[in-house]
Amino acid sequence: MKAKLRRSGAKIMASLIVLLGSLFYIMLLAVINGSVGFIAAMGVTVCGATGVAKALGIMGLCAEVSLSWGWIIGLAVGCGVIRGGLRYLEQYSNHYIAFKLLAVLRDKIFGALRVLCPAKLESKQKGSIIAMITSDIETLEVFYAHTISPICIAVLVSLAVFLFVGFVASWYLALVALLGYVVIGIVVPLISSGKLKASGVNYRREFASFNAYFLDSIKGIKDIVLNNAERDREGEVNRRSDILLKETKKMKNGITRASAATELMVTLFIAISLVVGILLVHFDLLDLGRMLIGVVTIFGSFGPVLAVSALPGNLTQTFASGDRVLNLLEEKPAVTPVKNGKTFDYENLSVKDLSFAYERNAPVLKDVCMHAQKGEIIGIVGESGCGKSTFLKLLLRFWEKDRGEINYSGIDVDNIDSDNLLDNVTMVSQTTYLFDESIEDNLRIAKPDATQEEIENACKMASVHDFIMSLPEGYKTQVGAMGDNLSAGEKQRIGLARAFLKGSQLILLDEPTSNVDSINEGMILKSLAEQKSKKSIILVSHRESTMAIADRIYTVSSGIMSEV
């Protein structure tokens, strides 16, 4: 999949750094600790070089600042201790950021999804969003924790060494070092990442394909044995395993070659700086002591750029992940929730001249009029795809209407506080999702403080109480433990029980009995009839038997709704 990025790499980096929020300061701390730590580490070698220069009696610089043996040894030990402490702090900050950031990012993304829900998440192109989110967050974690700070540290330390060597020894030597940093930290990684990219992509593809095939074989092992197909299957597993091994070898080869090239460059630049140093001394442009210090400083200064060159092959993947996450965070919701809007107590619903289209020029509903009073059951019938579910979603403001009015007790739905609307109106949609929790907890999301009695009453009304009691742990049974053992009808009835437990004044039921047998349907319809004196119920169904309890029936055809 080769999607074009919406933003440039620099823009993505900048936006991702802005997302850090207050963690930015911790990252700054990590960068400072890392840079100072590296410089302290080099301090140890520089002190050593100074000591050597002093012993050999070639003190250029050291004579000027007249360092005693005590000072040189003290500085070397001090630098070592500081290096240790700072290294610890750097690692601590980096990992603090890494772990915190996962939580922060997930929170932000969940918040964004919450606002986009349900309209935007329903449309087809958002189908893969959830799967994408998890892997993208992992990729970004690497970016935040192990990419930004090494790059910053490399830039800062290299700059510091360049200035130090320039001022203390010679600017010629400093320029050699700078060239080395650019080649090792930028040029070599760029060249090798281009080559590594293809083998990396191939490896990942084969890895995924092998895993899928292997897991599939394990899942289906019973059927493999039943069909006496072990030999064929084993042969295929081995064949795919060989392909994967070949790709792994290719990739490892590439990586080894890249790191060999990098090491070669380090050696080369150490040699060049030594040669330049000797030449400078030879032509009397530099004294031996300063040359020694300059060259030794350069020798020990390639660590940070080596760390950069070892970063994950290419940033392309990080940018792609960042782009997708930013797209999601910036996505405009189809419907903005109404905060601090008007509140109402449901008495009646009146819909006038309501029109709606998902896409321009393809109207789903045209000038729909209908009304409902407390104490009524309203039926809606119509062929599949005519817009019945759409109508219910508009009543809940999951989508915003294009034209017309939807008035609850005289207040238009667009002015009603979103929370208040969902308190008054509830819907059982065509598919009920059950969480991997106990049945009781699954019911409780409708009313967290419900008593056991309320829960059981709701389940009795939905004709699912007896079924739940027949389970090994009754209401405490874990839904996950039963896997797919819950039938479609049982799930549907639990969805209904949720709606009854919620106790809203207007209940929208989208095909509430489509998967239920006629005995259970009869019981559910009886409970609906018993409740209707206190509520309105809008019932969408194809079934004649269900429609029998409706007080009034509307039919929908070609987007037009008319009362029968």
Ligand X SMILES: Nc1ncnc2c1ncn2[C@@H]1O[C@H](COP(=O)(O)OP(=O)(O)OP(=O)(O)O)[C@@H](O)[C@H]1O
**Could you tell me if 76 and 43 are in contact, meaning their C-beta atoms sit under 8 angstroms apart?**
yes
Question: Rule CB under 6 A: is residue 368 a binding residue for ligand X?
Answer: no
What is d(CA 454, CA 459) in angstroms, rounded to the nearest whole number?
9
H helices present in 56-187, as ranges: 61-65, 69-116, 119-122, 129-146, 148-168, 171-182
Query: What pairs with residue 536 in β-bridges?
Result: 506
Residues between 102 and 141 that touch Mg ion (CB under 5 A):
none
Residue 366 parent element (H or E):
strand 363-373
Q: Please, what is the minimum distance in Å from the beta carbon of residue 113 to ligand X? A: 16
Residue type, 256: T
Contact between 389 and ligand X by CB under 6 A: the answer reads: yes
**Window of 197-205, 387-395, 417-425, 453-461 that interacts with Mg ion by CB under 5 A:** 387-395
* DSSP states along 244-290: HHHHHHHHHHHHHHHHHHHHHHHHHHHHHHHHHHHHHHHTTSS-HHH
Report what 128 binds from ligand X, Mg ion, none; CB cut-off 5-8 Å by kind: none
Question: Quick one: tokens of 30?
Answer: 């990590």
Closest CA to 24 of 139, 119, 152: 152
- β-strand partners of 413: none
Instruction: For the CB of residue 560, give the shortest distance to Mg ion in the complex, in Å.
Output: 17
The reply on whether position 390 binds ligand X by CB under 6 A is yes
At residue 348, the 3 state secondary structure works out as strand
Q: Which does 385 bind (CB under 5 to 8 A by kind): Mg ion, ligand X, none?
A: ligand X
Measured distance CA(553)–CA(564) in Å, rounded: 6
Helix (H, G, I), strand (E, B) or coil at 66: coil
Q: Does residue number 546 form part of the binding site for Mg ion (CB under 5 A)?
A: no
Burial class of residue 134, CB neighbours in 10 A (0-12, 13-18, 19+) = exposed
**Residue 89's closest CA among 144, 138, 131, 36?**
36
Q: How far is the CB of 372 from ligand X (least distance, A)?
A: 18
Residue 375 phi/psi, 5-degree rounding, is: 95, 5
* Residue whose CB is less far from ligand X, 169 or 540: 540
- In the bound state with Mg ion, the residue whose beta carbon lies nearer, of 108 and 543, is 543
Partner in contact with 122, chosen from ligand X, Mg ion, none, beta carbon below 5 to 8 Å by kind: ligand X
Nearer to Mg ion, 199 or 389 (CB): 389
Piece in contact with ligand X (CB under 6 A), picked from 103-111, 191-199, 278-286, 386-394: 386-394
Q: Does 536 bind Mg ion (CB under 5 A)?
A: no
Q: Binding to ligand X by residue 384, rule CB under 6 A? A: yes
Q: Which does 387 bind (CB under 5 to 8 A by kind): ligand X, Mg ion, none?
A: ligand X
For position 387 contacting ligand X by CB under 6 A, the verdict is yes
Binding mask 415-434 for ligand X (x = CB under 6 A): ---------------x----
Quick check: 386 binds ligand X (CB under 6 A)?
A: yes
Task: Give which of Mg ion, ligand X, none residue 364 binds (C-beta under 5 to 8 Å, depending on kind).
Answer: ligand X
Min dist. Cβ of residue 543 to Mg ion (A): 14
In the complex, the smallest distance separating the C-beta of residue 388 from ligand X, rounded to whole angstroms, is 4
Q: According to the binding rule CB under 5 A, does residue 389 interact with Mg ion?
A: yes
Q: State which residue, 307 or 394, has the beta carbon closest to ligand X.
A: 394
3-state secondary structure of 426: strand
For the CB of residue 541, give the shortest distance to Mg ion in the complex, in Å. 10
- Fill in the amino acid letter for 506: L
Contact letters for ligand X, residues 322-361 (x by CB under 6 A): ------------------------------------x---
Pairing label, strands 348-357, 363-373:
antiparallel
- The single-letter code of the amino acid at 476 is K
Name residues whose C-beta falls within 8 Å of residue 313's C-beta, 6 or more positions apart in sequence.
Answer: 192, 193, 196, 197, 200
Q: Which of 71, 122, 457, 471 binds ligand X (CB under 6 A)?
A: 122
Residue type for position 254? G
User: Considering only 18-26, 371-379, 384-392, 418-426, which stretch makes contact with ligand X by CB under 6 A?
Assistant: 384-392
What is the β-pairing status of strands 506-510 and 425-428? parallel
For the bound state, the minimum distance from the C-beta of residue 358 to ligand X, rounded and expressed in Å, comes to 3
| Residue closer to Mg ion (CB basis): 389 or 463 | 389
The tokens for 448 are 């967290």
Binding site for Mg ion (CB under 5 A): 389
Site for ligand X, rule CB under 6 A: 122-123, 358, 364, 382, 384-390, 430
